[in-house]
Amino acid sequence: MNRILLTSLLVIFTGFYANAQAILTQPFNSGTDIADYVRTNATVPPIAVGDNMFFFIGKRAAGSTVVSTTINNGKLRFDRTGAAGANANHYIVTAARTVNDGAGGSDQNAALTDASNLPKVIKLSVDITVSNFDQDMTNAVVLSIGGSGLNPAGNSDISKTNGANHSVLAITTSGGKYKFSRPTAWDDDGGTADPNNVSTASYNSGDTKTLTWIINNSGQTYQNYTGPDGNTHTLGDNEYDLYAGTDLILANRTATHGSIAITSFVFILRSIDLATTGLPNNRITVDFDNLAIEDLSGTLPIRLAYFKGRSNADGNQLEWETASESSNSHFEILHSTNGSTFSPIGRVEGKGSTTVNTYYQFLDTNPADGINYYKLRQVDFSNHWTESEVIRIHSTYSPGNNALSATQRGGQTELRFKTATAGKAIVSLLDINGRLLVRKTVGTTIGINVVNLDMHNMPSGIYVGAVTLDGHTLKVRFKK
């Protein structure tokens, strides 16, 4: 006897970072009853990676007789034969790690901790068959990956406004066919529908399509992955690609909320009263089979904890930290003045392979006036590379400033200045009365220049350092 549970289905998985890891594999062929795939909150031990069990399968409310959830010919079937009324949604939900409710059981409401181990790049594949629909329905089915707020106990409709979605897909029926898109209500331009969010590919009722959904939330570009089409692709941070079979039907689409960690997956057959909410409640059957979720985070050569920068008196200081590295040869520092065309300005050696947090820094001594853009290119020992996201720094100390500073280092005085051109400069040292004590000509390079003055035999007092270049003289007072 098939049991229709009154809440939702919740799958638990954990993310690691060694190699691509199977989080969940479920072909729905190990039993004919929904209960064969479900653990309750009281089940001990809690749901864990590899057991392919679910918290709940079913609809959110029990009252409707026109909706059912069954195992049908080795597939999970959500079936609606008419107007279902409010709160009759079907749900599938996953969470990104084993959740323990503190009493020996699993609980979808328990806090998701240990965020450092949450998956950063997800590959979700599933066979979906849509049939028996009798009219046009927008967003009849919604698939969402996002935060722990994707909990059907608290959301009758997983909407954009609840802030729990990272990336969202929808199935829409139109003209007797169905297609996949980003739901109109979640459109990323904040206004009218973006045609790039809607796939032009459509399928006949009863067609089965294998969806492959690759989502990047790693903080860096997911470089050179091989898609189901056999081609090499690049996926930016907080973007996703969607394949139907071997066809790439949505490419480099922007996440709804890039700040949301990937902790949950929700599949919803929406069944809310059309007359009062405008949401679909008409006849439709959706078969859901061969669900597989993988954590691809381990295929990233590094895990970048952060990448940031600031302007100071010496130039633009860049800092970054890796949480782990695999065959990391080096970093190339790329610079741009327009945010689109980048050129290398430096190199920092990597640590090879390590699981220890590693701190790096690089000083750009020749930033442009105003806004400067930077990104990191990480190169492994096979010369494959990934790129970080772009950061921007407003330079307050640029070649045009030609600032001059003096620093005491033992018996030496270090005069530091910056110039936009290479050439020669006259460096002078004067006492407080303006008498010339030292005068010499030095060569200059573009960017920061440092000249050391030997003052071991000079008495204590106030001195003036002067640098003449490009027809202008810079002066700085300092005390020995």
161-190: pLDDT as tens digits = 555 678 888 888 888 999 998 776 554 434
Same domain, 319 and 352: yes
Against a cut of 0.75, is the pTM above it? no
216 and 316 part of one domain: no
Per the domain annotation, does 131 fall within a domain?
Answer: yes
Least confident span in 59-73, 88-102, 370-384: 88-102
Cα–Cα distance for residue pair 84/273, rounded to 1 Å: 7
Could you tell me if 135 and 207 lie in one domain? yes
Residue 125 lies in a domain: yes
Is 5 among the domain residues?
no
Residue 3 located in a structural domain: no
244 and 228 in a common domain: yes
User: What CATH number does residue 272 fall under?
Assistant: 2.60.120.870
Domain end residue (candidates: 299, 333, 356): 299
Same domain membership, residue 81 and residue 199 = yes
- For the cut 80, the answer to whether the pLDDT of residue 353 exceeds it is yes
- Identify whether 2 is part of a domain: no
Task: For residues 280 and 349, state if they share a domain.
Answer: no
Residue 68 lies in a domain: yes
Q: Which domain holds residue 466?
A: 400-479
Domain co-membership, 244 together with 98: yes
Pick from 357, 377, 395: which residue ends a domain? 395
**Least confident range of 132-136, 142-146, 178-182:** 142-146
Q: What is the mean pLDDT of the chain?
A: 74
- Residue 405 domain flag: yes
Q: What pLDDT score does 129 carry?
A: 95
Query: 326 and 232, same structural domain?
Result: no
Q: Which residue, 395, 427, 443, sits at the end of a domain? A: 395
Residues 136 and 260 in one domain: yes
Total number of domains in the chain: 3
The residue ranking higher by pLDDT, 330 or 162, is: 330
- pLDDT bucket at 395, cuts 50 / 70 / 90: confident
What pLDDT does 10 receive? Answer: 26
Higher local confidence (pLDDT), 23 or 230: 230
- One domain, residues 198 and 306: no
- CATH number for 352: 2.60.40.10
206 part of a folded domain: yes
Q: How much is the pLDDT for 274? A: 46
- In this predicted structure, the answer to whether residue 199 has a pLDDT above a threshold of 80 is no
